[in-house]
Amino acid sequence: MSIKTNALIYFLAFCSGFCIMGIELLGGRILAPFFGSSVHIWGSIITVFMLSLSFGYLLGGKLSTKNASLTKYGLIFLIASIMVVPITLFSQPIMEFIFTHIEDSRYGSLLASTALFFIPTVILGMISPYSVRLLVTDSDKSGQVAGRLYFVSTLGSALGTIITSFYFVLAFDVNTIISAFALTLGLLGLVAIVINTLANNKELAHA
């Protein structure tokens, strides 16, 4: 991988961290009208996100062992983008259905969080381990690369948290923000695929 490609991977990992935490925060806004905003509501959201990310890390690590490429990396972003869209389309009917069938807000919020956020967050969780695989070219430096990658990704998460909670929610409605996250992820995926395709074509032309 070239220096420019590595920089792109770090940037994409940063953006994925930003989007993950932004979506998690907005989960509270989506559930609040039906289940409230007490501590067990946030407990449900955080539990679902942590479990989803853990499964994503496992799947991403496994996928990265099978001919890892920037194109496949970009496809993860595209799939994540597609999986985020249903949150904006179906959150209202899902919330209404669960709210009317489960009286206990603890279990209702847990089920609602799972229905809305589990799959997209699993896909987003695949990004970090796949990023590490693309960046590591020397096994002796794998720990350093992983540390740097998770620093960048977590920094993105921190900024996603503060910017979403301090600014985005004041200026836009929840569905608009989530749609913007989905669009961003999709565009980033396309950028990764296009750059990899151009690089491969360039190599073939010089072969």
Q: Which domain CATH number covers 188?
A: 1.20.1250.20
Q: What is the pTM of this model?
A: 0.94
- Alpha-carbon span 131 to 205, nearest angstrom: 27
Domain count across the chain: 1
Q: What is the pLDDT of residue 137?
A: 84
Averages of pLDDT over runs of 10 residues in the chain (207 residues) are 85 96 95 91 96 96 91 96 96 93 92 96 96 88 91 96 96 96 97 90 70
Reading phi first (left if > 0) and then psi (alpha if -120 to 50, else beta), residue 36 is in left
Q: What is the pLDDT of residue 4?
A: 84
Identity of the residue numbered 143:
G
Instruction: Tell me the per-residue pLDDT of 36-80, one tens digit each, with 9 for 90 and over.
Output: 888 999 999 999 999 999 999 999 999 999 888 999 999 999 999
Domain housing 161: 3-206
Task: Report the chain's terminal Cα–Cα distance, integer Å.
Answer: 18
Q: What is the pLDDT of residue 31?
A: 95
